[in-house]
Amino acid sequence: MQVRFEGVMPAITTPFNADLSVDHGFLIEHASWQVAAGCSALVPCGSLGEAATLGADEKIAIVASCVRAVNVPVIPGVAALSTAEAVRLAQGFETAGARGLMVLPPYVYSSDWYEMKAHMNAVIRATRLPCIIYNNPVAYRTDFSPNQIVELAQENDNVAAVKESSTDVRRIAALRALAGDKLALGVGVDDLLLEGVAAGASFWIAGLVNALPRESVRLFDLARAGQHEEARRLYEWFLPLLRLDTVPKFVQLIKLTQQIVGQGSARVRPPRLELEGAELVQARQLITASLAARPL
């Protein structure tokens, strides 16, 4: 299956049973629902997928379930504490049927370009799969500059795309100027979609799509088609929800939104805890008010 880095790619959440084991039955149902709504690929085992709380075997099993469920590329996130563990994950994902990888810097340890480049190269070269470089300095403290990303692409033929989550939309324009057609460019921040597409992004790895796939795909399609006024109206409605993806409890908030629309549970794995009290009341009010006004 050829991978085209275009369209809406859900950073899919990981559903849990009451005992906090992975709920593969709902995972398959959820993955199928996302694709039926028009999503072009799935990205499991990312930050929104609570990858830091999943064991390697669990991650590989999640990828295998997604592969069985859908006929679009499954592109899991590869993140680990050590380079050796990340390499094993990349190879395990390929064996499980992944059609691409989203490669992150190591958890916890962040250093200079010399060390981070060595880590990225080791993971990228451990597989034949096309790779997305995931730049998210807000979460991971490692900031890959456009020049460094292009350097990785020049040295590795299977570096095919970038998920840019620095929150600086100028990075997309800079990457486009430096890389030309070598790299597909993706928006990795929910509330920068219109700005990112205007700067040249061809895909959106999104969070709120887990609860609202039809609206997400519609928004992306309008933006790519240059239907600016209609896109702006939909975007303005969507922004209060999209901003839920930009705060520390984004996983809890997105899973709560899924629960409210009847597509999932609010369960999370510790150290995350479900929202409660005034925080839960406030979140529910925002979500339900937004949903009541949705235009589609």
Q: Is the pLDDT of residue 2 over 80?
A: no
Q: For position 139, what pLDDT does the model report?
A: 85
Residue 67 lies in a domain: yes
Q: Note the pLDDT of residue 7.
A: 98
The sign one gets for the Cα dihedral 243, 63, 70, 28 is negative
* Look-up of token digits 């300095």: 137
Taken in order 217, 46, 269, 286, the sign of the CA dihedral is: negative
Does residue 245 belong to any structural domain of this protein?
no
> Does residue 295 carry a pLDDT above 70?
yes
- What's the rounded mean pLDDT across residues 28-47? 98
* Parent domain of 199: 7-227
The C-alpha angle 49, 54, 55, rounded to 5 degrees, equals: 145
163 lies in some domain? yes
Q: Which of 59, 140, 163, 235 is catalytic?
A: 163
Task: For residue 280, tell me if it sits in a domain.
Answer: no
- How large a percentage of the chain has pLDDT more than 70? 100
- What is the edge-to-edge ordering of all strands in the sheet holding 77-78? 7-10, 203-206, 184-187, 159-164, 131-135, 101-103, 77-78
- pLDDT confidence of 104, banded at 50, 70, 90? very high
220 within domain boundaries: yes
Q: What is the pLDDT of residues 111-139, one digit of tens each?
A: 999 999 999 999 999 999 999 999 998 88
| C-alpha–C-alpha distance, residues 284 and 174, integer Å | 39
Position 254 in a domain: no
Alpha carbon 127 to chain centroid, angstroms: 20
* Domains in the chain, number: 1
Residue 198 is part of a domain; what is its CATH number?
Answer: 3.20.20.70
User: Is residue 72 in some structural domain?
Assistant: yes
Mean pLDDT for 251-267 is 98
Q: Two tokens at 70? A: 């859908």
* 59 assigned to active site: no
Note the pLDDT of residue 296.
Answer: 75
**pLDDT digit string (tens) for 149-205?**
999 999 999 999 999 999 999 999 999 999 999 999 999 999 999 999 999 999 999
Position 1 pLDDT exceeds 60: no
- What would the mean pLDDT of 207-221 be, rounded to a whole number? 98
- 262: in domain: no
User: What does the alpha-carbon distance between residue 258 and residue 49 come to, in Å, rounded to a whole number?
Assistant: 13
pLDDT band at 209 (very low <50, low <70, confident <90, very high): very high
Q: Output the six-digit token pair for 7.
A: 């369209």
Q: Catalytic pick from 134, 140, 235, 255?
A: 134
- Average pLDDT of the chain is 96
What is the DSSP track for 12-45?
----B-TTSSB-HHHHHHHHHHHHHTT---B--S
Q: Is 114 a catalytic residue?
A: no
